[in-house]
Structures are given as structure tokens and as C-alpha cells.
Structure 1
Amino acid sequence: MAEQDVPALVGTPTPDTVLAAVAEHGAVLLRGGWRHDAYVALGDALMTASPYQGGFHDERDVIGGDPTTTTVTRGTQGMPLHREASYAPGAPDLLMFRCERPAADGGATTLCDGLALLAALPAAVRAACEELTLRWESALPTPVWQRMCGTTDPAAAERMLRQWEPYLRPWESIHIDVDEDAMTVGFGTRCTPPTLFEGVPAFCNSLFISRPQPGEYHDRRLRVRSGTGAPVPEDLVATAADVAARLTVAVPWRSGDVLVVDNSRYLHGRQAFTDAGRAVAVRMGHLRKEVAA
């Protein structure tokens, strides 16, 4: 695995310079001892930051009372490559990480370019990926969905969840089933959705996180199948994982580093570590329209 095979900018580049680098390369590392307040200001200039909800996936801690800035996922396990929140409506456009303190050993953030990954797949597998639709499902036990939605009425809860529908992209869909035990929320999307800046297909999804390697983080609350209801072919995922392993690069953190990632193009993960003092923050959100113009 190569280290830091993403462009690096030093000093204090302007938001326009950072965005141009992300649009061209998909990710950019900002070296130069970024303070927390400068990191937040850069994020606010580039994107409308999303507040952390944590109702279903309570796995992060809010930093400094700001719900748009949190720790990364708790724990020291390795994290499989994935697209942030690809299993739900409203996946962020941009991710911004800042390292307060790197791990003494391991703990690098890993990156894989979904454009390069799709292009490197065998032709038949690539074609299958481009045709494949995914349906992510989360089963919420009745007490959980009632608490999250603030109601005991299934119809009212469904109406609340379907408020996302006007904002769905043309290839996305929402499916909701309720019984006495749980509410199952399904989200339909493509295996290779188009990228934010170029509008071309990329292998940018969370299939690898649904099939982690031994010892890696495993989110057992999510399940995935194809849009037809059939299982996602194991050989397709295995082939893509093998190719991704060859293309993955590691970003060895230094204190004050900031990493900006196009979440529609790049998969990200992390290496395992044992140093509980590792501290990395994350912010995410949607590109500001006036910045994108």
C-alpha cells in the first residue's frame, strides 16, 4: 500500500484552491498545522455542514458542542473502505478530516479512487457493477423508530421519512415496511453512482463494509441486496475488493493535517491501531451552490 498518493497543499490555500484540487483529484491533503478554528472556517466556506444526528448510528462524539463537528467512529478497529452514508438519502458531497493527534502506530486513513477502481475491474465485472442497483435496509425495532420519529403512529413516522423523497436523485428511492416488531427502512441507489464534479460512474458505495475482513469494524444493523431482491453476487464484491486493495493508499497523519475528500468519488477507511490517544475530527456536508458555480 502506497503512502500519501494524494496531492498535498502547504500553507493556507484559499477555499477556491482547495476546491479546485478536490474537483481535479478527488482528495487533497492540507499540510501545515491547521488549527481547529481554521479547519471549521474552511469547511463552512466550502459546504453546508450537516449536523450529526446519531439516532440510529450513535458511534461518534460531538466536539466542542458543535453538532457539525465530531470524532470519527469510536474504537480502534480497522475500517473497510466505504462511501460515507451511501446507505441513506442525503449522503454528503464532501468529507473533511482533521488530525489533532495521530496514533503512535497505525491509524492511517485509507483512500481508494472509485473512478480508478471501476476502470481497473475486468470488463464483465465492470459492466455488471454499472448495471447493479443496491437496496440498503435498516431494521429499527419499534421502540427505536418511535423514539427517533417522536410518534407511535406508523403512518406519521412514514410520512416523516418520506419527506426526503423530493430531494432524492433520479436513481434513488425509499422503501418502508412496518410490522409490530420493527420498521424496515430501505434505500435504493446505484452501485456506481455518478460523481459530483464530472458526472461519470464511479465504484463508490459501501459494499465492502457489509463484508469486512476479520477484525475489521462490522455494522450489523445494515443489510444490502440487489434492487431485484436477489443477493449481491459474492464474486463481484470479492473481485472489486481485490482490485481496491491494490489501488488503496494510506494517509499517515501528522498533527494539524486536514484531508478533504469528494465523497462521490473516493472510498475511505482506516488502518487498525492500538493507541487510544488518536484524535481525528470529521465534518461533512453538501457543496455550497455559490462555491460550485
Structure 2
Amino acid sequence: MSEDSGLDGLLEWLDSSPDLESLLDREKALVFRGFGATEERLAPVMDRLLPNRLAYVHGNSPRTKVGDNVYTSTEYPAEFTISMHNELSYAHQWPARLLFCCVTAAATGGATPVVDAALWLELLDDEVRERFADGVRYTQNLHGGLGLGKSWQETFETGDRDEVDAFLAASHAVSQWRRDGSLRIVQNRPATVHHPRTGAEVWFNQSDQWHPAALGDETAAALAKVMPQEDLPQSVAFADGSPIPAEHVLQVRDRALAAAVDVDWRQGDVLLIDNLLVAHGRRPFTGARRVLVAMSD
């Protein structure tokens, strides 16, 4: 939607739209354009669209916390595409909604592609859907302050091991503190889920992003060739531990990207998505780009 009445106009519209949940169930993603949202004035918009903002605990994407459970969108290098995914789909709990706000649009590129997650599931070959029917197994190796990828302190936003242990026990993950101060986490999760209100079955896992065959970063891909898979910062297998064929995850990645619709950012845009019904990614870009993200249950 687009208005010329400024941010107050958006707030007024949100206050007079009690059935926003049904609208989002139907449309799956909403773009609010022309209201001039800014980083300084984003809080009242989030208060209305995200009823209970969540911390990015157990998140694997590099990002910076800039406010009260508000973060930069991923800080993955600008030259790479980030493939389609649903936020925290590898975790025991995930956000129901995501809100993005474009503070600074890229000079070129930088769109956020979105794809219908039910369509994504339909686009996959029967063989692929059948192989993933029992779910996937994710393995993380989080260093204690020096190493590859994110540390466990960054990932869980705490330096308290007992707090991390309690979180992982509640999520039914298998974890192990190692002698070098790192933490290994193994967890089985579903490959698809059903939306709690619409009942739609959606593709809901990050097998392609965790699999060495789908890595877009040449350095990371080279690392995957010389390190045992179980020692990589993150890896994935079928739920029984058997390897996922490379051609499966490449199909998953490529068909979603091909079907995605780009949200080409303009400064001040706000994008709200249902995190189960819609997956998102990022196109490569040049120049400065600052997009903020927050999430809600």
C-alpha cells in the first residue's frame, strides 16, 4: 500500500485495521511504501505490527543488534546472493512475523526476494519431497570466542553457559561443550510444517543453506572440501544421519530463487511477512545498504 500522509498516516491506518492478521494470512506479505519510515521513528510501527518482539537467539546469520530486539539484516558480503529461507526454521521455535525497514537503499541491486513457501514445496520433485519427509538433522559448531563462524556467546546473546544449557534443553537439542570452549549442537527438525491458521503445508527448513554443495562463498566452499563435515560451523543431513545428495539441495535452492518476487527497496519502505507462508532472501548489491529487521511470535 502507498500513502502520502507520512508516518502518522500509516499509524492511523494500522490503528483502524483490527483484522491485520487475516489480511496477512491472505496476502502473506505486505509492503508499506511512501510513509517515510525512519530508524528513529520505527518503534511505534513495530509496536503495532509486532506484538511481542523477539531476540535473535540461536540465529546463525551475522547481524548487529541496534535497538530493543532490532537488528541489521544479514551482514553477509554484498556480492553474494542469500538464498530463500524462513527465519530460524532450523530452531525449536521460530518467529511468526518478520518486519523489514529500508533505512538506506543500495546503489544497485539489494532487493529482498520473497517466495510463497507452499509454492516452493509444490515446485520440488516428488523424489525430493519424499526423501525429506522424515525431516533433517542440523549440526552446529560454535566457537568460544576465536574461530570460524559465530561464537556461542554471539549466537545466544549471553556468556552464561547455564543459560545456554537451559535454552537447548528446552528445545530438545543434543549439545556438548568441548575442551576448546566450543559448543556442538545437534537437532532434528521437520522439513515441512503446517501454518497454524490457514493449514497450508509449507517447505520450512534450511537444508540448502547448511549444505556445502549450495555454498555461494568460494572460501566457505573450499573449507568444506578440506574439513570433515561434522567439524564445519554448520552442516546438515537427513534425520537418520544419512547424507543429503548435492542435487537435492541445489534443486531446493534454485527453484525457490527462480520463483521469487523481488521487493526492490526504496528508502522508508516497510515490509511485513508471515514467516511460515513466505520465505525471503537477498540479491547482491553495490553501495551502502541498511535494512533493519525485527521479529515477533
Scaled to the shorter chain, the TM-score interval is 0.7 to 0.9
Residue 63 (structure 2) pairs with residue 51 (structure 1)? no
Partner of 1:35: 37
Whole-angstrom distance in 1 between the partners of 2:62 and 2:190: 26
Structure 1 residues 42-191: aligned runs within 5 Å: 42-45=45-48, 46-53=50-57, 57=60, 59-63=62-66, 66-74=67-75, 75-76=77-78, 77-129=80-132, 131-141=133-143, 148-151=158-161, 156=162, 159-165=165-171, 173-181=172-180, 182-191=182-191
**2:204 maps to which residue?**
204
1:70 shift after superposition: 1.6
Q: Separation in 2 of the partners of 1:95 and 1:216?
A: 29
Task: Please list the CA deviations of residues 21-42 of structure 1 after superposition, one character each: whole Å capped at 9, or x if unmatched.
Answer: 3211221111122423654323
> 2-side partners of 1:28 and 1:254: how far apart?
14
Tell me, yes or no, if structure 1 residue 232 matches structure 2 residue 244: yes
Aligned to 1:84, the other structure's residue is in SS state coil
Gaps of 5+ in 2: 4-8, 146-150, 222-231
CA contact (8 A) 1:31 1:258 kept: yes
The whole-number CA distance in structure 1 between the counterparts of 2:34 and 2:272 is 14
**In 1: Cα distance, 2:186 partner to 2:176 partner:** 8
2:293 to 259, 275, 282: 282
**CA deviation vs aligned residue, 1:57-107 (integer Å, no higher than 9, x gap):** 5722233xx231121112413212111122223211111000112111100
> How much is the aligned-residue C-alpha RMSD, in angstroms?
2.9
Asked whether the equivalents of residues 102 and 255 of structure 1 are also in contact (C-alpha less than 8 Å), the reply is yes
Deviations 1:136-160 (A, max 9, x none): 1211345655894524xxxx56742
Measured after TM superposition, the shift of residue 252 of structure 1 is 0.4
- State the AA in 2 paired with 1:205: N
If the length of structure 1 is used for normalisation, what is the TM-score?
A: 0.78
Q: Is the Cα contact below 8 Å between 1:196 and 1:265 reproduced in 2?
A: no
How many positions carry a matched residue from both structures? 263
Deviates more, 1:76-85 or 1:173-182: 173-182
**Which digits, 9 at most, give the CA deviation of each residue in 1:96-124, with x for residues without a partner?**
00011211110000111110111222333
| Percent of aligned pairs sharing the same letter | 25
Q: Residue 193 of structure 1 aligns to a residue in which SS?
A: strand
Aligned to 2:227: none
Name the SS of the counterpart of 1:283 in structure 2: strand
d(CA) in 2 for partners of 1:103 and 1:94? 24
For residue 222 of structure 1, what is the aligned residue in structure 2? 234
Alpha-carbon distance change, 183 to 110 in structure 1, aligned in 2, over 3 angstroms: same
Residues 1:146 and 1:265: Cα distance change in structure 2 (over 3 Å): closer
Give, in angstroms, the shift of residue 126 of structure 1. Answer: 3.0
Deviations 1:148-179 (A, max 9, x none): 4524xxxx5674234524xxxxxxx4122344
Q: Is the 8 A contact 2:111 2:282 kept in 1?
A: yes
CA distance in 1 between counterparts of 2:200 and 2:121 reads 11
CA gap of 1:266–1:178, structure 2 versus 1, over 3 A, is same
Q: CA separation of 1:186/1:213 partners in 2, compared to 1, >3 Å: closer, same or farther? A: closer
Structure 1 portions without partners, runs of 5+? 1-7, 166-172, 287-293
